[in-house]
A and B are shown apart, each in its own frame.
Chain A
């Protein structure tokens, strides 16, 4: 297939999936409550895929994602408040606020990344963890954030359609980034940092760049969360939330964007059922995490990706030689 055909197939796939959702809604299988769950899953998808960029592709353990989400949320909310006087159309203001929130988070990502990423080893995990705590501390103590009561002000609104579009855009950008020269540079750092440096990859630059990009999308996830909930509850952005996002990444496979999406959906749906035994939920997740690391450290999908192009190719192949029985390779899982 040619490049444009592949892009076209993917676009059609995305639209078909959306139509499928609309149909489910129209039939009534997805009610208002389910839509809320889906929006929250969407937010987790953005947060987890952005973390996957830092952890799965760059190979750096980052444990302060909730901190970046908090920065994005507050920045987006305050920006929305500021541009209220200009009377922009709501959706344009929304997009602008999300991007500003993301940029602010990326800025902090650079500030945190420079000291931590110059070092080899596991310092980034601890620094980001500490950074998340600092952010939480700051939010509770500063005036303009509304302190522990939370921020209530003029906020935009997000519904399932907007959420779907945002998720689709974020995933597309991430995919394009990972498949580009820069993405390959990042993966080379994960594989072997010394070797990458030896062949001329500016490792420090790419580590900070990747980490800041990851923070940028985390900021966007935080902004969407703020707009969806119409308020910001600072108690949400704890270490536990960072860990929940991290679990999604590990479960889906470090180094697989679509794996992360699948894991976010599975865990999101599972959460609804596990509400009854809410207090055991994290016990189960943590056991899952340890078992996963011991027996299947690569996660559900490893570094494989699901793609609509692969699916179409696989279907075409099936149709062409439907008589051949031994064609059992799962080509829909296109190996990178």
Chain B
């Protein structure tokens, strides 16, 4: 039982990180119908910027998170403007290949600039220690991760549902042309979507690197993929779906590590993706949409 509870806590910890990353995928997919392969690398960049703010600029942990999020938001917008914007009306496969190219570029650029060997994330002194409830231990890192992700998810939900820019985002994802006719600045809205998604991805990256203590150029690949699976699981394009998918994904992963095998957990995660696509391709919260000619 203790093992089970401990694994569930781990699952919620990882799951909240996946949920944060999955939000970026789902928002971008919802608005420009593009699987942003580079999103996993935004996570990696976020981790690097967080690391540098702590080690080089001696910023406190909170400020490091904010710096990472801001810088990544800018990079997210830049990626959109440089690489994706010229291809807005191109075939989807071209945009996908571009996304793949951007992802490769970021990974290898960071490898060349900062070396392939993993860098160690310093221990944040205020995050050492844990809360004990009976025999179950919950570390401060877990508490912080879950709290931060819930705060930001609620914040995002608020932005999307209640503000003007959120309304613009929803209208663009519904129908780009109609939104333009209604006076919505489509390109600006898309840029803001990228910025928001990238900021959340950077937050996920910093939290991920704090949980696993290391930062390396290819670190974004696996969590990025799993977060994408989470987004598909919850129903791609649906924001609450991405959160739900992220938590489900984290739980499945940590339970399979606890009860089946560590080395097979990745295979199980992708096995789930294939099963979801077979039985409920629109995802848990998704509705089946008829394709119009």
CB distance from A299 to the nearest CB of B (A): 11
Contacts of A129 in B (CB 8 A): 225
Q: How far is the CA of A59 from the CA of B94 in the complex (A)?
A: 11
Inter-chain CA distance A167–B263, complex, in Å, is 37
Within 8 A of B (CB), among A126-165: 126-127, 129-131, 133-134, 137-138, 140-141
A residues near B94, Cβ cutoff 8 Å: 293, 297
What residue in chain B is nearest A112 (Cβ atoms)?
A: B274
Partner of B281, one of A119, A138, A140, A282: A119
B97 touches A140 (CB 8 A): no
- Indicate whether B229 reaches chain A with its CB closer than 8 angstroms: yes
- Contact partner of A126 (CB less than 8 A), chosen from B112, B229, B267, is B229
A290 contacts B102, CB within 8 Å?
A: yes
CB distance from B237 to the nearest CB of A (A): 11
Is there contact, CB below 8 Å, between B221 and A239?
yes
Total B residues in contact with A, Cβ cutoff 8 Å: 45
Complex Cα distance A31/B270, Å? 45
- Interface residue? A21 (CB, 8 A): no
In this complex, what residue of A is CB-closest to B275?
A115
Q: Which residues of B contact A285 (CB under 8 A)?
A: 104
Tell me the nearest residue of chain B to A277, going by C-beta: B112
Q: Are A61 and B96 in contact (CB under 8 A)?
A: yes
List the one stretch of B6-14, B60-68, B84-92 in contact with chain A: B84-92
Residue of A nearest to B115 (CB): A279
- B178 at the A/B interface (Cβ < 8 Å)? no
Asked if residues B109 and A283 are in contact (CB atoms below 8 Å), the reply is: yes
Query: Per-residue CB proximity of B252-293 to A under 8 Å, as 1/0?
Result: 000000000101101101110111011001000000000101
**Residue B111 interfacial (CB < 8 Å):** yes
B264 touches A289 (CB 8 A): no
Q: For the complex, would chain A's binding face be called helix, strand, loop or mixed by DSSP majority?
A: helix
A24 contacts chain B at the CB level, 8 A cutoff: no
Task: From the candidates B83, B232, B264, B273, name the one contacting A141 in the complex (CB within 8 A).
Answer: B264
Most B Cβ at <10 Å: residue of A55, A112, A122, A285: A122
Known: A119-B281, A239-B221. A280 touches B112 (CB 8 A): yes
- When A119-B281, A122-B35, A293-B98 are in contact, do A130 and B273 touch as well, CB less than 8 Å? yes
Main SS of chain B's interface residues? helix
Q: Residues 218-258 of chain A: 1 if any B CB is under 8 Å from the residue's CB, otherwise 0?
A: 00000000000000000000010001001000100010000
Asked if A29 CB lies within 8 Å of chain B CBs, one says: no
What residue in chain B is nearest A123 (Cβ atoms)?
A: B277
Residues of B within 8 A of A250 (CB): 97
Q: How far is the CB of B284 from chain A (nearest CB, A)?
A: 16
Within 8 A of B (CB), among A90-132: 112, 114-116, 118-123, 125-127, 129-131
Chain A-chain B contacts (Cβ-Cβ < 8 Å), number: 118
Q: Is B108 an interface residue (CB 8 A)?
A: yes
**Contacts A137-B263, A243-B100 given; does A126 touch B232 at CB 8 Å:** yes
A283/B100 contact (C-beta < 8 A), A115-B274, A115-B278, A293-B94 known = no
In the complex, A22 has a CB within 8 A of chain B: no
| A294 and B86 contacting across the interface, CB-CB below 8 Å | yes
By a CB distance below 8 angstroms, the chain A residues around B105 are 283, 286-287, 290
The CB with the most chain A CB atoms within 10 A, among B86, B225, B275, B277, is that of B277
- In the complex, what residues of A have CB within 8 A of residue B129's CB? none
Q: Report if A134-B86 is in contact (Cβ < 8 Å); known contacts: A61-B93, A289-B101.
A: no
Closest 9 pairs (CB-CB, A-B): A130-B270, A289-B101, A286-B104, A286-B105, A290-B101, A282-B108, A115-B278, A134-B267, A293-B98
Q: Could you list 27 A-B pairs, sorted by A, with CB under 8 Å?
A: A59-B93, A122-B92, A123-B281, A126-B229, A126-B273, A130-B269, A133-B225, A133-B266, A133-B270, A134-B267, A137-B266, A138-B267, A243-B100, A246-B97, A279-B111, A279-B112, A282-B108, A283-B112, A285-B104, A286-B104, A286-B105, A287-B105, A289-B101, A289-B104, A293-B101, A294-B86, A297-B91
Query: Footprint of B on A, CB under 8 Å?
Result: 55, 59, 61, 63, 112, 114-116, 118-123, 125-127, 129-131, 133-134, 137-138, 140-141, 194, 239, 243, 246, 250, 254, 279-280, 282-283, 285-290, 293-294, 297
Which chain B residues have a beta carbon within 8 Å of chain A's beta carbons?
A: 35, 83, 86-87, 90-98, 100-105, 107-109, 111-112, 221, 225, 228-229, 232, 261, 263-264, 266-267, 269-271, 273-275, 277-278, 281, 291, 293
